[in-house]
Amino acid sequence: MIDTVPAYGLQSTNISQQEILQRKKTAVLVDGVILNGPIVDSKAGEKFVEDACKIIMEEVIQKATDVTEKVCEWQPPEKLKKLLDLEMRDTGEPHQRLLQLCQDVIRYSVKTNHPRFYNQLYAGMDYYSLVARFITEALNPSIYTYEVSPVFLLVEEAVLKKMIEFIGWKEGDGIFNPGGSVSNMYAMNLARYKFCPDIKEKGLSGLPRLVLFTSEECHYSMKKAASFLGIGTQNVYFIKTDERGKMIPEELEKQVQRARKEGAAPFLVSATAGTTVLGAFDPLDEIADICEKHGLWLHVDASWGGSALMSKKHRKLLHGIHRADSVAWNPHKMLMAGIQCCALLVKDNSDLLKKCYSANASYLFQQDKFYDVSYDTGDKSIQCSRRPDAFKFWMMWKALGTTGLEERVNRAHALASYLVDEIKKREGFRLLLEPEYSNICFWYIPPSMRNMEEGPKFWEKIHRVAPIIKERMMKKGSMMLGYQPHHGKVNFFRQIVISPQVSREDMDLLLNEIDLLGGDL
């Protein structure tokens, strides 16, 4: 028994020789394992955290707004595997080596906080939400019951209440989820449960053929949700859109009637407020009229566009959203609350979420607790462990106020308008359409193609332009900008404006850099 004690003492350099001798005398072994005292060297751990935080401060936070830094340090996968030393070994590695790994991870990661990262529907750094993330990572909470997460459950309740207010509902319910895709799936399942409550216990057998309707510009998560929930992708009716990417209400009406004639059972319409590529907003009022007429649940996927509700000037984009039964809204996008921060909001206030998802686990949700168990909200979720994502948004909202969040939305729109005007002035740049949100879609036409006849050969060449420029910009590290083909249109760039750290000068450089990188094509 005593022979194994010195080995234990070596693991904890903070323990004095006197303490080691004392433990030798009182050591308790179970299955060859010494149970006396902790085996973690807290002082060494604290020093590692301190040193790692210094690296994060210097290499991530302080460089976040430095436009002279690269957006990315591109390496091909096989080379990057070697540079990172990904192998996990039998014995642990020294702290200095781990700190070097931290630096390598930062060096070779994409700097999404960089002012010239325009690649996705999120960007930039909000310092207040970042601190909130540090706090929650350190506390490591899970928000299913009030007893283990009192503060964060109250924060989530307060944030949901405020978001419900901005939608225009007098009351409602909601929950934060790991992504807008999950929020859309929740909404689909909730609508189905409302339509046929027996499904929770009896399952799919005996149900009619359920169908749902969504725009052909919808997020791909709608197809995934239909597949995952057993509805089937063939039972998702995609409704035609106009030239701006908005759902056509008359086409929706036709498809609902078609489904009924086929003997199917329509139960849900999912509209989109801010489509991923074009940034289109479906006409919610007209869609709501059709839903009311046919008794259909109206869900609005406002994951991207929902933050326009914060702006008195731009909230008109979501006119009619108050008529929805459920809304998905991601503050981690336009409002920069930090990935991930995604809410599903539900107009129903009769505990529909809980009725649909509860499993009444007796080891968590005991009804005879000494406090008000209505605060044990975890049974509204399909998850057990759940992160306190609302806290990031709450901290940011407390710091900036509603006016600060509104200013963030308004500035993004103003910068987008500036870029559109510049694109119109410049030779070789062409808009797909006038944007209504901060998605700016455009082609770059190199000098060698500007006098070509615009036939199939011209568009075939233009299709190859964006991928080459994207490769060049990433290998140079100057910026990151997305591109895609879309509904018969060849590859074009999609510029997203979000971060308040982005300036007019960055918009000018964007166009100059594309011209520089693609001028020889």
Q: Annotate 455-467 with DSSP letters as a single string.
A: SHHHHHHHHHHHH
CB 188 within 8 A of CB 225: yes
Write down the pLDDT at residue 25: 66
Which secondary-structure segment (H or E) carries 11?
Answer: helix 5-11
Write down the pLDDT at residue 3: 40
| Residue 224 backbone dihedrals phi, psi, to 5 degrees | -65, -40
CB 69 within 8 A of CB 117: no
Q: Which residue has the tokens 């859309």?
A: 184
Cα 428 off chain centre by: 34
Write down the pLDDT at residue 378: 86
Write down the pLDDT at residue 2: 37
Each residue of 22-31: b (16+ CB within 10 Å) or e? ebbeebeeee
Residues with Cβ within 8 Å of residue 430, at least 6 apart in sequence = 423, 442, 443, 445
Residue 362 tokens, joined: 């007796």
The amino acid that residue 513 corresponds to is E
CB 328 within 8 A of CB 150: no
Write down the pLDDT at residue 168: 97
Write down the pLDDT at residue 1: 35
Cα separation, 278 vs 492, in Å, equals 11
**Residue pLDDT tens, the chain, 521 long:** 334 433 333 344 455 566 666 666 677 888 878 787 777 888 999 999 999 999 999 999 999 989 999 999 999 999 999 999 999 999 999 999 999 999 999 999 999 999 999 999 999 999 999 999 999 999 999 999 899 999 999 999 999 999 999 999 999 999 999 999 999 999 999 999 999 999 999 988 888 999 999 999 999 999 999 999 999 999 999 999 999 999 999 999 999 999 999 999 999 999 999 999 999 999 999 999 999 999 999 999 999 999 999 999 999 999 999 999 999 999 999 999 999 999 999 999 999 999 999 888 888 888 888 888 888 888 898 898 999 999 999 999 999 999 999 999 999 999 999 999 999 999 999 999 999 999 999 999 999 999 999 899 999 999 999 999 999 999 999 999 999 999 899 999 999 999 888 999 999 999 999 999 998 98
Beta bridge partners of 117: 480
Write down the pLDDT at residue 9: 35
| Residue 350 backbone dihedrals phi, psi, to 5 degrees | -105, 25
Residues with Cβ within 8 Å of residue 376, at least 6 apart in sequence = 144, 145, 146, 147, 364, 365, 369
Residue 163 tokens, joined: 């978001």
